[in-house]
Structure 1
Amino acid sequence: MGIKNLNGKRVLFVAPRFFSYEIDIKSELERRGAIVDWLPDRPYDTPVLKALTSLSPSWILPFADRLYEQLLNNFSAQHYDIILVINGQTLSRSTLTRLRATYPQSRFVLYMWDSIANRKHVQYNLAHFDRICTFDPTDAKQYGMVLRPLFYGHGFETPTVPSSTQYHISFIGTAHTDRFQVVNSLRKKLSNDISSYWYLYLQAPWVFQYYRLTRPAMREAKQEDFHFKPLEKRMLHTLFANSHTVLDIEHPNQVGLTMRTFETLGSGKKLATTNMEVRNYDFFSEQNICIIDRKSPFIPHDFLVTPFEPLAESIRKRYSIEGWIDELLEL
């Protein structure tokens, strides 16, 4: 069972660097009184080592083990009330075993914001945790995990004063898999009176050149279609505030709902998404959410000009970062 509150509790937080979401979670834990030590899951950030971590984690784990041991010694914590892990991609069984032995009173909580299919070795670590939650409904059924969707962080709350709509539709995201193809196909079908903003991010120009050579869907892409710096959170908040509808394109192999889904709804904006699973969630309404076919994307004109229907306060609160932490830690 969970604890009553986080005030004065010590938390060891293991999470990957991912568009500053790890900072948002750590800040929220600290805002609620926790004392937090952070360890980076997937601590090696060069493109080559990131790829190696994904393709063959066993090569990376011994180096990660040594780094974690050094960082934990630097923290010098006598105990942790909670050890909270996001994904745990580079946490080996030996590191988890050592953590269990060193902090036997700790409550071990795992949250998967990726699918087990993409992090297959993590399934062998599940027995080390007291509570396991996932954003993926398929994994929840297969592995007996608790289904807990993602969240929206601070800055994505519905504005008290409605903002002006500069764009009828916008998209902000990494240009992985078929995202360029979906965006390119959709924008060709928008009528001239529909204003749009597209921010397709790639890590470097050479990644664009590689994709253009290896992916038929990227053949007609131009380098100027892409940005090579991640969009700052402040700019992301501004774009959301100035958009009527936000486009969401989940990974083709993904079933769980993206962070973007909840950031959009939290901001009081309409959502156009390729993820058909969204129909199964308590916030779904055809007034606010348009499901599109990723192979032939189309959004009705009326959807892009009619207003957002406000969410019930209980639902809006559940999908905030506060609601996510409450459920994850059973507060």
Structure 2
Amino acid sequence: MKIVNNKKIILAITDDFKIRCSIEDNLKYLGFEVTAIIPEVTEKFEYRNFKEWALNFIRKNLFRDKEYKKTLRQNFEREVLLKKLSKADYTLTIRADRFEDDFIHKLLKCSPKNYSYQWDGLKRYERIIKLVPYFTKFYVFDKTDLSQKNKTYPTTNFYFDCYPHLLENRNPKYDITFIGSYDNRIEKLIPICESLYNKGYKLNIFLFCPDEREPNSYPFLKHSRTPFSYYEYLKIISDTKCIMDLHHESIHNGLSFRSFEALGYNKKLLTTNLSVKDYDFYNPQNVFFLQKTNNLSKMDEFLNSDYKEIDPVIKNKYSFTNWIKYILEIDGHTPIEIP
């Protein structure tokens, strides 16, 4: 479903969980010509000439100076990113704090229409504050970050609508799925999962443990050193009835992607984020609030009831298609507010 004909867009984005690949997929699905630039340079470092190599050899071996090569590597990585820049109709930067100021300023010269979205709270990365005024519009999903009047604009996260095949699974294998990082949320996760497991629910609980830490062994828990790509994650949740969402209360107040994945792929949602109630897609038949383990007695009724279809007008508002039209100020979008 094209909304543009070969409009060029530069997507500058962190490569966390490969969600960048799904954003590229959806942009191309809508007719954009995409140049994706990630701050994590994968090109192998090379000396530009013999002089650089020789000078580094001398400084490293005679003066034990390892900073010179580090500086050369940083300059190399900066040049790699800058070479990817070209004229475009739009630029969209997600997590601008992950890029150096020099790159941001040169990026903004590539197009008269430059937009940014910060899907983490502004307070978490203070450097981002000074970058806000440079963009045509700077979008945030946490209501508390709208305090900068006339500088930040509201939006939410979204679900990808370029993968209609993910809606085809009518007989999911699992009742409840949670996939996330091993962090302080495990203190909430384990008691909830123990109660659900003891009630006989089929759980698919997966934690990523990048260091030596590993959670204790539980029959319902799997863990890995490496995360799934975002598309792999979407395929996994297509095989579940419910998605579990444990809110990062100390990081932000906005809704995570879990709420919109549930909406987009017709899944029920188990969440600790009470602000879901404020959104127009909320329906108590589809959302169960995990406040205390003692309210799990009502889980049977919730899980055994049918998913309540959401008004297509409301549902489409949170699709990537409407999201990108709203972000880039393309005609025909539905405005997105934070309740």
For normalisation by structure 2, the TM-score amounts to 0.77
Q: Does 1:260 align with 2:266?
A: no
Q: Any conservation in 1 of the 2:41–2:80 contact (CA below 8 Å)? A: no
1:109 to 100, 104, 115: 115
1:70 aligns with 2:115: no
Cα distance, 1:159 vs structure 2:
6.3
1:201 maps to which of 205, 208, 211: 208
Give identity over the alignment, percent: 22
**Structure 1's 298 and 15: CA in aligned 2 closer, same or farther, altered over 3 A?**
farther
Distance 2:126 2:191 in 1: 33
Q: Is the 8 A contact 1:13 1:39 kept in 2?
A: yes
Structure 1 CA distance, aligned partners of 2:11 and 2:233? 25
The one-letter code matched in structure 2 to 1:119 is Y
Q: What is the aligned partner in structure 2 of residue 52 from structure 1? A: none
Deviates more, 1:29-38 or 1:126-135: 29-38
Change in CA separation of 1:63 and 1:193 when aligned onto 2, cut-off 3 Å: same
Match of 1:168 in 2: 175
Aligned equivalents of 2:160, 2:271: Cα separation in 1: 20
Residue correspondences, number: 297
Alignment correspondent of 2:323: 324
Match of 2:13 in 1: 15
Summarize the Cα distance change of 1:8–1:61 in structure 2 as closer, same or farther, 3 Å threshold: farther
Q: Structure 1 regions of 5+ residues with no counterpart?
A: 45-59, 209-217
Q: What's the CA shift string for 1:104-143, capped at 9, x where partnerless?
A: x521100111111111100001111011111212112445
Quick one: distance in 1 between partners of 2:19 and 2:294? 29
2:284 corresponds, among 263, 283, 286, to 286
SS at structure 1 position matched to 2:310: coil
Structure 2 unmatched ranges of 5 or more? 43-69, 331-339
Alignment correspondent of 2:309: 310
Give the Cα–Cα distance (whole angstroms) in 2 for the partners of residues 171 and 82 of structure 1: 35
Query: Which one-letter code corresponds to 1:276 in the other structure?
Result: L
Matched residue type, 2:249:
P
Once residues 140 and 43 of structure 1 are traced to their aligned partners in structure 2, the CA distance between those partners, rounded to angstroms, is 32
- The CA distance in 2 between the partners of 1:133 and 1:297, in whole Å, is 38
CA distance in 2, matches of 1:288, 1:68: 47
Q: Secondary structure at the match of 1:186?
A: helix
Partner Cα distance (2:278, 2:195) in 1:
28
Distance in 1 separating the partners of 2:236 and 2:199: 20
Report 1:1-331 matches (<5 A): 6-41=4-39, 43=41, 67-73=77-83, 75=84, 77=86, 79-100=87-108, 102-103=109-110, 105-142=111-148, 144-154=151-161, 157=164, 163-178=170-185, 180-190=186-196, 191-204=198-211, 206-208=212-214, 225-231=222-228, 235-253=232-250, 254-293=252-291, 296=293, 298-299=295-296, 300-301=298-299, 302-331=301-330
Change (3 A) 1:234 1:118: closer
- Shift in alpha-carbon separation, 1:40–1:298, aligned structure 2, 3 A: farther
Judged with a 3 Å threshold, the aligned counterparts in structure 2 of structure 1 residues 127 and 236 are, in CA distance, closer, same or farther, namely closer
Q: State the AA in 2 paired with 1:305.
A: N
Q: Report deviation, 1:252.
A: 2.3
Question: What amino acid maps onto 1:197 in structure 2?
Answer: N
CA contact (8 A) 1:16 1:43 kept: no
Query: Which stretch of the first structure deviates more once superposed, 248-257 or 90-99?
Result: 90-99
Contact 2:26/2:161 (<8 A) preserved? no
Q: Shift of the alpha carbon at 1:5?
A: 5.1
CA distance 1:132–1:233, shift in 2 (3 Å): closer
Cα offset for 1:320? Answer: 1.7
**1:203 partner SS:** coil
How large is the RMSD of aligned CA atoms in angstroms?
3.1
